[in-house]
Amino acid sequence: MKFLRQMLTIAAKDLRSELRTKEALNASLSFALVILLLFSFAFDPTSDMTREISGGLLWLVFAFAGVLLLNRSFARELPNDCLDALIASPLPGAALLLGKVLANYVLLLGIECVCLPVFGIFYNVRWTLQPAWLALVLLLGTWGMTVVGTVFSALTVNMRLRELMLPMLVYPVLIPCLMASMRLTTLILAGQPITGDELAWFKMLIGFDVIFTALAVALIDTVLVG
Amino acid sequence: MKQKILYALGVVAALLLTRNIWTMLTKLPDEAFQGAIFRIIFFHVPCAFTCFLCFFMALIAAIAYLSTHNLKWDAFAVAATEVGLAFGAANLVTGMIWARIIWGIWWTWDWRLTSMLVCWLLYAGYLVLRDAIEEPTERARLAAVMSILSFSVVPFVFFSIKWFRTQHPQPVLYGGGSMDSAYRIMLYLNWLPILIFAIILITIRMGQERRQRELDALRREIHAF
Amino acid sequence: MKALAVDAVWKYYGDYPALRDISFDADAGQCVALLGRNGAGKTTLLRILAGLSHPTKGRVQLFGKDHNDRAARSLTGIIGHGIAIYDELSAYENLKLYAALYALPDPHRSALEWLERTALDRVKDSPVREFSRGMRQRLAVARAFLHNPRLLLLDEPFTSLDDRAIALLQGLVRDALAAGGTVVMSTHQLREAMDLASHVVLLNRGRMAHRGERTPEMLADTGWLYRTYGEAS
């Protein structure tokens, strides 16, 4: 599967670059931890309140930290005109995009896995109650964030003020994905089962992921080549 | 010639609007629970219809631009989006006035208002994106992609916020129940002048874009050597 | 089948035509020098040939295929203004990456071979960040020639090269031409360009002012072409 191999080559390159310099990773992780801390001053983290907003809080942290990471995604190709060399190569735009999405996905999941125990400690929340459901929400929600964030990273790559533009453009588009993830996570962390009506959130999340992955793949060549 | 048509349309719209307002104030009875302010719905809802119609037109224009690379479509896209945003803002403001009078608070997280706010921010982002790109062809291309992505998320926004709000009920501006036929007729009747205004504004804006393009090309020509 | 066929290409930025009705072609073994003042459209044209930009009107064909075709892209090598090398990876990792992207059968061996040819094998595992400028330039050349491209698109390749790198590049270009490759090279360094070029295309304000073989007059007096076909000033 040539396409898969090309995708993995790009993903491996991005991961290797990032893990070697750790610039975006460190910034993102530190930012996530700082936000977790800041939120504790915004309200009194008694157990009742926390249970109600746990999902929202977590995904806000993931979203803020995630966008910091996603900004780097295509921006890392700018020094030395590497992006031009990638576009001029036989690599299909879709493989470039999905390779980067994969790398960002892995990095963001890593950050989330670090944030969860910290969150559990700071806010006294037992997050291990329903691990399978939680993992599912993390996997689906993070994919939505990553796909949308990476394609916008490509869109904004040549703009000045890229660091400001990307969050401003991405967050409204991510609202349905974040909302579903927040709602599901709150329920899961509260130990409640996901049934009936609530399952609709999962369906929406999957629909969002599928549609935006398809759109991103369809539009990436238009975004990259003028 | 085009100017004359626009003026004629404007006059028609103004006459329709005057007639509607007169009917609203004198002929239609007050709504049972909400009183006189209920009449604001005849502007509130058509503005929303117009707003999303404009955004849909912008989507069509975006796809047309990417297919043809004719910058006229890009001019249409930006004009439609700006006018859509204007009417969206009108919808939000009338909603806020209504909420203030009915509920005593400026903002209710009514799912329709919230969805409109999110979509408004989405498309405001479109304008900021355009501002950040100087070269017209690149701007048209990337803005078209943004338009496609934005409209694709609109249905998701509505669904998710509606479900969310049914789980956390907030004051609702007007229920989903059916409206008396007299009201409904007036609603659509009032949509007509608003739609005409939208068309006039879009046409004027497109003319502006065309002139700006000519200026840009001339400026480039002079500065090239 | 021509290696490169450019047919009535126009490029508009908004309403401004950066390229107007450019048509030329190149066969195997030919080296086309793309000349013109700054702003004439050389880089715009090269970017279109490299697949980085679409022409607004007209067609570009590489080896009989549309210029966006993946097969055509795998036969093309480019050197642009940037070296297109990742600073945080090592020289070996960079070349191996590009070898994989160009689907070479043995990326490891190709990378090592070209590190040797460009005298970078001793520093192959150091991050490129630590390289001197000359070493980075040689690595960029290795990257461009790695997959034995049959069409080379070079945008001012001799600019800011040290003499070692210039000699290396000239040798590689000559070898490629001798093996039946085609080169399109934009340059201000008329001397080095004219040495290698078999044909010239002169661009003036986006138009093709002259197209033809490289004559002895052009080699002897590098300004002759501009004076004859270019602008008065």
pLDDT at B182: 76
Boundary-marking domain end, from C148, C172, C195? C148
C184 occurs within a structural domain = yes
Is the model more confident about C233 or about B60?
B60
Q: What is the pLDDT of residues B175-206, one digit of tens each?
A: 655 667 777 888 888 999 999 999 999 999 99
Question: What percentage of chain B carries pLDDT values higher than 90?
Answer: 58
CATH number at residue C163: 3.40.50.300
Mean pLDDT of A201-219: 96
Look at A9 and C52 and tell me if their CB atoms are within 8 Å: no
Q: Provide the edge-to-edge strand list for the sheet that holds C65-66.
A: C16-26, C4-13, C57-62, C65-66
For residues C159 and C233, membership in a common domain is answered with yes
> Can you read off the two tokens belonging to residue C15?
């309403």
Compute the nearest-CA separation of A17 from chain B (Å). Answer: 28
C9 occurs within a structural domain = no
pLDDT at B187: 85
Look at C16 and B71 and tell me if their CB atoms are within 8 Å: no
Domain count, chain C: 2
Asked which of A35-44, B187-196, C95-104 is least confident by mean pLDDT, the reply is: A35-44
C62 occurs within a structural domain = no
Mean pLDDT of C135-140: 91
Compute the nearest-CA separation of C155 from chain B (Å). Answer: 20
Look at B137 and C13 and tell me if their CB atoms are within 8 Å: yes
Is residue A151 less than 8 Å (CB to CB) from chain C?
Answer: no
Q: Let me know: does B133 contact B139? Beta carbons within 8 Å.
A: yes
Sort out which chain B residues have CB atoms less than 8 A from A183's CB and list them: 164, 167
For residues C158 and C219, membership in a common domain is answered with yes
Is residue A1 less than 8 Å (CB to CB) from chain B?
Answer: no
For residues C159 and C228, membership in a common domain is answered with yes
Look at C14 and B216 and tell me if their CB atoms are within 8 Å: yes
Q: What is the pLDDT of residues B115-156, one digit of tens each?
A: 999 999 999 999 999 999 988 999 999 999 999 999 999 999
Is a pLDDT exceeding 80 seen at residue A34? yes
Domain interval for residue C208: 25-54+69-75+150-233
Q: Provide the edge-to-edge strand list for the sheet that holds C76-79.
A: C76-79, C151-155, C182-186, C31-35, C199-204, C207-213
Give, to the nearest 10 degrees, the angle between helix C107-117 and helix C91-101: 130
Boundary-marking domain end, from C133, C148, C163? C148
pLDDT at A216: 97
Distance, in Å, from the CA atom of C28 to the CA atom of C30, rounded to the nearest integer, reads 6
Compute the nearest-CA separation of B70 from chain A (Å). Answer: 14
For residues C157 and C227, membership in a common domain is answered with yes
Where are the domains positioned within chain B?
2-224
For residues C119 and C192, membership in a common domain is answered with no
Boundary-marking domain end, from C96, C124, C148? C148
* C52, C87, C103: residue with CB nearest A88: C52
For residues C157 and C118, membership in a common domain is answered with no
